[in-house]
Structure 1
Amino acid sequence: MPTYRYKAYSSAGATVSGTLEAESERQAMAQLKGKGLLPREVSEETAGSGAQRAFSFKRGITTAELSLFTRRLATLVASSVPLFEAMGSLHEQEESGPLKQVLARVRDRIAEGASLSRALAAEPKIFGESFVSMVSAGEASGALDAVLDRLADFLEEQEQVKSRVVSALAYPILMVLVGGGVMLFLLTVVIPKIVVIFEESKAALPLITVILIKLSHFLRGWWWIPAGLAIGSVPLYRSAMQRDNLRLKRDQLLLRLPVAGGMVQHLLLSRFARVLGLLLSSGVPIIRALEITSEVLVNRVYRGFLREVMEEVSQGGSLSGSLKKSRLFPPMLVHLAGVGERGGTLEEMLLKAGTAYEREFSTRLTRLMGLMEPLLVLGMGLAVGVVVMAVLLPIFEMNQLIK
């Protein structure tokens, strides 16, 4: 009998997950409903499922597409357009692609009587828990259009951060690729032609020249070894990251890296403060908001600590007091959270903190890229200089012998 992995909502609104055996996906969903659970995601588990995910290249829905959909939906809802008509209109506007298929399924669920949040919850790979919970809170409070607007703002800001990172890394990556290509050309094409001259002279060669010649021979005769390692490392890494213990070690290492570790922390703090602030401002209870925020953060170190924070807050502790117990959250964020708790403006303080950390991340990224560019140029110059020196030194020595 096939095994199905599921995620579902309990009657209390908590997320539960696990596996069960059933004849079909429909029967698996029926079993979950019989247990009083609302199915969120049900998929058949296979022995090769992890490897299949690691080798999957299927195009998904981008953050830009999702933010545009959310903004359009907010506009239609604010104009009092019925949800079914709004979803049908958005489906017609969308060009053929993954999002159009998703909108068709969401529209059909709404036509069957499902609420917007439940219709979206059935597409967990597209609409995460934070998105669905905010929509659900907006439906309950009667402020769905305002919640959707805030969601669109958040998604647009996340897309802007991503664009800044990509733009900042584009030039250094291009420099590395060009430099690597030049070095590869010199070692596999230029050096072998010059080596013939050196071998005919039978003169003793400088150490740097000998090393370069051996490296050239290796790349020409055994090129498939580095090529195979480079090609195989990507799927191997993705497959290894399916294991929680390895992902935790990777995340711990990222936070300890000099310079980059601080930037990663600022990005995580920005995401934490923004998501939690948005959820609270949308009317999501703080325990549920913390649970969702912990799932949104990709770093396992922060996830683990936030679960401890959630337990303390559920027992009556304050958010600021719980955050203060770890060095993962700096004093400024703890102080702003404390001020917000005392003044009843916690969500506002968190959103301000999120904006501040995002700006700090952008500033650090700009400075780092400004420093990396001249260093990369210098590194390329040194690498080419070493090759030129390895070629010219024996030529100079041969000239001295002739004289």
Structure 2
Amino acid sequence: MLYRYKALTRAGASLSGEMEALDRTTVLQDLHQLGHFPIEVMEIKASASGPNRARSSLFSGLPSSRQITLFTRELGMLIKAGLPLDQALAFLERDAGSKALGRLIGRIGGEISSGKSFCEALELQGGAFPPIYSRMVRVAEASGTLETVLERIATGREKSQKLKSMALSEVLYPCLLIVMAIAAVTIMLTVVVPRFKDMISNAGTKIPDQARFVIGASDWLLANWEYLLAAIAATIIILVLGWSKLRGHVENLLLRLPLIGSILKLNLTVRFCRTLGMLIENGIDLPSAMKLVGDVIGNKSASAALERSYDALRKGRSFLDPLAQSAIFPPVLINMLRVGEETGSLSSSLQHMAEVFEEKLERTVERTFTIFEPVIILLVSGIIAFIIVSILSAVISINDLAI
């Protein structure tokens, strides 16, 4: 939820701003931790930190995720070297690699100069910094460990971005093969087959069944290509406009697929472990951390499971039972976290399991798409060979008749 507040600083100056939090009590606690005396706190609207906000930020002129990560890493290094926050921000603004990042750092510096805390300045930047980021910074400011927390945030974001880049590079080549396959088959049916059609049809011989099928497919494609393109465009538009309603069904379907489902579950497990472990390590209480992870996990089924875990924590029960019942997270993770919960080492258990499952995810992605590539090539080769052999069989039958 998003709240607007008014408060007094220790020096007696008036302060106002907006803050994302789970409830009004959390806002009051955070203001007290920052050394402010709250006067008024009121909810203004639901938090826009979910997927809709992330999509809108694509066109808002904000820096990219990688630029935010680089800014975080460099800011942590400068503060660790002894520079005050305002001077470090001014230095980074001058040396920013893009105009968007420079403007963002300038706005943050301006908010801090007007009396706001670093966390409050981040929350006012239109979604450039996710709620998890600003929440960890808020706790770091209260505990005096800002440089350490910034380095941890940067490390976590770098690992997540590395994983995304690896997955993208593995997916790109099979997708290119599929596009080229569709193009090759389309050219065969619309250019090559029609050149033999008249000769085969006018020969007066019985056309083999395979050749008749290929010629029929070619005729249908040539006669209905406008409708086919319109149907594809309409399908894409329906998916885009109705994605919010269809998303849950699509995600559930993908999770049930043999290979893709395993990859998606591993990815969710890595994100869950790394994010929750980082939050707990930096002083966020477990219920609040579970709520934040549920908001950013990026999957409706996993988010619903984390919401049930959050409710279980509020009622004094273990948060692991709802996760086990979801069948999304592997049993070994549940068992390890149960041990970590009992021994008080939950954060280290989460970080360790994140490393283990990240290695497993990398191997699974590499092996899966290594299998996909030859399968796609063989499938395309088989389709093209079937078209060529079908046409050649009809041509040979004509020659046999002539003899």
TM-score interval (norm. to shorter): 0.7 to 0.9
Report the RMSD for the aligned CA atoms in angstroms: 2.6
5+ residue gaps, structure 2, are: 1-17, 29-38
Q: Check if 1:270 corresponds to 2:270.
A: yes
Contact 1:83/1:110, CA 8 A, preserved across alignment = no
**Structure 2 vs 1, CA of residues 200 and 271 (structure 1 numbering), >3 Å: closer, same or farther?**
same
Structure 1 residues 97 and 212: alpha-carbon distance in aligned structure 2, compared to 1, 3 A threshold: farther
Aligned to 1:250: 250
Q: 1:140 to 1:213 in 2, by over 3 A?
A: same
1:294 alignment partner AA: G
Cα–Cα, structure 1 residues 7 and 260, in superposed 2: closer, same or farther, change >3 Å?
farther
Q: d(CA) in 2 for partners of 1:60 and 1:402?
A: 72
Distance 2:175 2:62 in 1: 24
Paired position in structure 2 for 1:117: 119
Instruction: Report if the CA contact (8 A) 1:291-1:310 is conserved.
Output: yes
Alignment match, 1:36? 42
C-alpha distance in 1, partners of 2:25/2:399?
A: 87
Alignment-derived partner of residue 164 in structure 1: 166
- Structure 1: which 5+ residue stretches go unaligned? 1-5, 16-32, 44-49
Partner deviation per Cα, 1:214-251 (whole Å, 9 max, x = no partner): 222233333222223333433431221123xx322222
Q: Distance in 1 between matches of 2:375 and 2:349?
A: 39
Q: Give the drift of 1:393.
A: 1.0
Q: Specify whether residues 174 and 323 from structure 1 end up closer, same or farther in structure 2 by C-alpha distance, changes over 3 A only.
A: closer
Secondary structure at the aligned position of 1:36 is classed as: strand
Structure 1 residues 42 and 318: alpha-carbon distance in aligned structure 2, compared to 1, 3 A threshold: closer
Give TM-score scaled by structure 2 length.
0.84
Residue of structure 1 equivalent to 2:93: 91
What does residue 47 of structure 1 align with? none
Give the distance between the partners of 2:395 and 2:140, measured in 1 at CA.
77
Question: In structure 2, do the counterparts of structure 1 residues 313 and 42 end up closer, same or farther at CA, with 3 Å as the change threshold?
Answer: closer
| Conserved? CA contact 2:313–2:319, under 8 Å | yes
1:156-194 C-alpha deviation (Å, 9 max, x unpaired): 111111111111112211211222222121111111111
In structure 2, the residue matched to 1:346 is 346
Tell me the number of residue pairs that the alignment of Structure 1 and Structure 2 aligns: 370
Q: Give the AA of the match of 2:223.
A: G
Q: Work out the CA distance in 1 between the residues paired with 2:132 and 2:149.
A: 12
Q: Output the amino acid matched with 2:332.
A: M
Pair 101,196 (structure 1): closer, same or farther in 2 beyond 3 Å: farther
Q: Give the deviation of 1:104 after TM superposition.
A: 2.5
Write the distance in 2 (CA, Å) between the matches of 1:181 and 1:42: 41
Identity %: 25
Contact 1:7 1:41 in 2 (8 A): no
Contact kept, 8 Å, 1:255 with 1:265, in 2: the verdict is yes
How do 1:34-113 and structure 2 match up within 5 A? 36-37=42-43, 61-113=63-115
Q: Once the two structures are superposed, what CA deviation does each residue of 1:262-285 show, in whole Å capped at 9, x if it has no partner?
A: 111111011001100000000011
**Cα distance, 1:39 vs structure 2:** 7.6
Evaluate the alpha carbon distance shift between residue 186 and residue 324 of structure 1 in structure 2; reply closer, same or farther with a 3 A threshold: closer
State TM-score, norm by structure 1. Answer: 0.84
